[in-house]
Amino acid sequence: MLLVTVSVSKAETCESLLYESDVPLAFDIRAYETITTFPGSLMGTCSDRCLRDKSCLAVEICESGGTKYCRLVRGWTPGYLGVTGTETCKQYAVVLNTTCGALEFYDRETAQCVQQDVCNFELTTEPTCFLTETTGDIFDWTRRSGSTSSVSTGPPSAKVGSYYKYTETSSPRLTGDTAWLVSNRVFEDKTYCLSMYYHMYGSTQGTLKIQTITGSDPPVTHWELSGDQGNTWHSLDKLNLPLNNNTMIRFEGIRGTNYYSDMSIDYVVLWPFACP
């Protein structure tokens, strides 16, 4: 179903939006803008905004609580969208006259295929994932499906798909023990945008940090959160990280004062451009 066509004189081409699939309403972490007011039709307003914004690769028409709205989506669209819930959005993707590799998406701004770094932990080894275990910490993150082994802490299930990573803080873990995940990519000298889902439930919840380390310099903390955040998944988006070929990203999980401090992450995305 062809919805809209807009002439783009700079490239001397016509770009269009076509229905691609239904996507879960809860899978909103790729959306960089939500439009709730529109002077004309919802689809007309959202399509025009998307096609005129080179960051946009799709429009998703959603409805929640009787209110319709749209969200503009950037970046790579995974083939698997296993988010629980019955509410969905209609996704209309920009029609492109090029095909990128399986781990890439087409950047309309630069007219190039760009690598997308995504960790959704669905596979033991993920070629798209830019995070890996390392040495120097006290214990490792654990890949998990379903709830953790302790009550009153940890998530009941993954946010996206079936698997996530978490810090198991039962014995022999002690207060202040650290678990690290570090990047395994060589980055360009520019600002990247990081987004993810996180879950920090438990009465003695510890601290989660996102840091960068350049060479032998001390870590720089760009985001930090401590304490019980409730038994729900939260989203972190639009975290700018200045990187270069000598910079490493580090996720640090720090155990709280008791085992009620299992923290989890899911669907971690590193966008190869600054946050909008």
User: For residue range 70-112, what is the model confidence (pLDDT) as tens digits?
Assistant: 999 887 665 445 555 568 889 998 987 778 887 778 888 888 8
- Span 207-233, mean pLDDT? 97
Run of H or E including 105 = strand 104-107
Q: Phi/psi at 21 (nearest 5 deg)?
A: -175, 170
Regarding predicted confidence, which is higher, 77 or 117?
117
For position 253, what pLDDT does the model report? 98
- The whole-angstrom separation of Cα 192 and Cα 48 is 27
Band the pLDDT of 263: cuts 50, 70, 90.
Answer: very high
Instruction: Say if CB 223 and CB 209 are below 8 A apart.
Output: yes
Check whether 137 has a pLDDT greater than 90: yes
- As a whole-number percent, the residues of the chain with pLDDT over 90 amount to 61
Check whether 2 has a pLDDT greater than 80: no
Residue burial 135-147, b: 16+ Cβ < 10 Å; e: rest: eebebebeebeee
Band the pLDDT of 7: cuts 50, 70, 90.
Answer: very low
- Span 39-52, mean pLDDT? 91
Under DSSP, is residue 99 helix (H, G, I), strand (E, B) or coil? coil
Closest CA to 274 of 216, 181, 193, 204: 193
- Span 205-211, mean pLDDT? 98
- The whole-angstrom separation of Cα 216 and Cα 126 is 28
For position 275, what pLDDT does the model report? 81
Distances (CA, A) of 23 to 14, 62, 84, 128: 26, 9, 11, 21
- Span 175-186, mean pLDDT? 97
Output the average pLDDT for the chain. 88
Q: What does the chain come to in residues?
A: 276
**Could you read off the pLDDT of 162-171 as tens digits, one per residue?**
999 999 999 9
Q: Which residue has the tokens 């002690």?
A: 174
- The whole-angstrom separation of Cα 55 and Cα 110 is 10
Q: DSSP string spanning 138-187? A: SB--EEEESS-SSTTSS-SS-SSSSEEEE---STT--TT-EEEEEE-SPP
Cα atoms found within 13 Å of the Cα of residue 215, Cβ hemisphere only: 3
Under DSSP, is residue 135 helix (H, G, I), strand (E, B) or coil? coil
- Span 188-202, mean pLDDT? 94
Check whether 36 has a pLDDT greater than 80: yes
Under DSSP, is residue 46 helix (H, G, I), strand (E, B) or coil? helix
For position 237, what pLDDT does the model report? 78
For position 75, what pLDDT does the model report? 74
For position 87, what pLDDT does the model report? 82
Band the pLDDT of 11: cuts 50, 70, 90.
Answer: very low
For position 179, what pLDDT does the model report? 98
- Taking the C-alpha atoms of 45, 47, 51 and 52 in order, what is their torsion angle to the nearest 10 degrees? 0
Check whether 6 has a pLDDT greater than 70: no
Under DSSP, is residue 21 helix (H, G, I), strand (E, B) or coil? strand
Run of H or E including 20 = strand 13-24
For position 198, what pLDDT does the model report? 97
Regarding predicted confidence, which is higher, 22 or 245?
245
Closest CA to 91 of 67, 72, 108, 68: 72
Amino acid identity of 119? C
- As a whole-number percent, the residues of the chain with pLDDT over 70 amount to 90
Check whether 231 has a pLDDT greater than 90: yes
For position 266, what pLDDT does the model report? 95
Check whether 1 has a pLDDT greater than 60: no
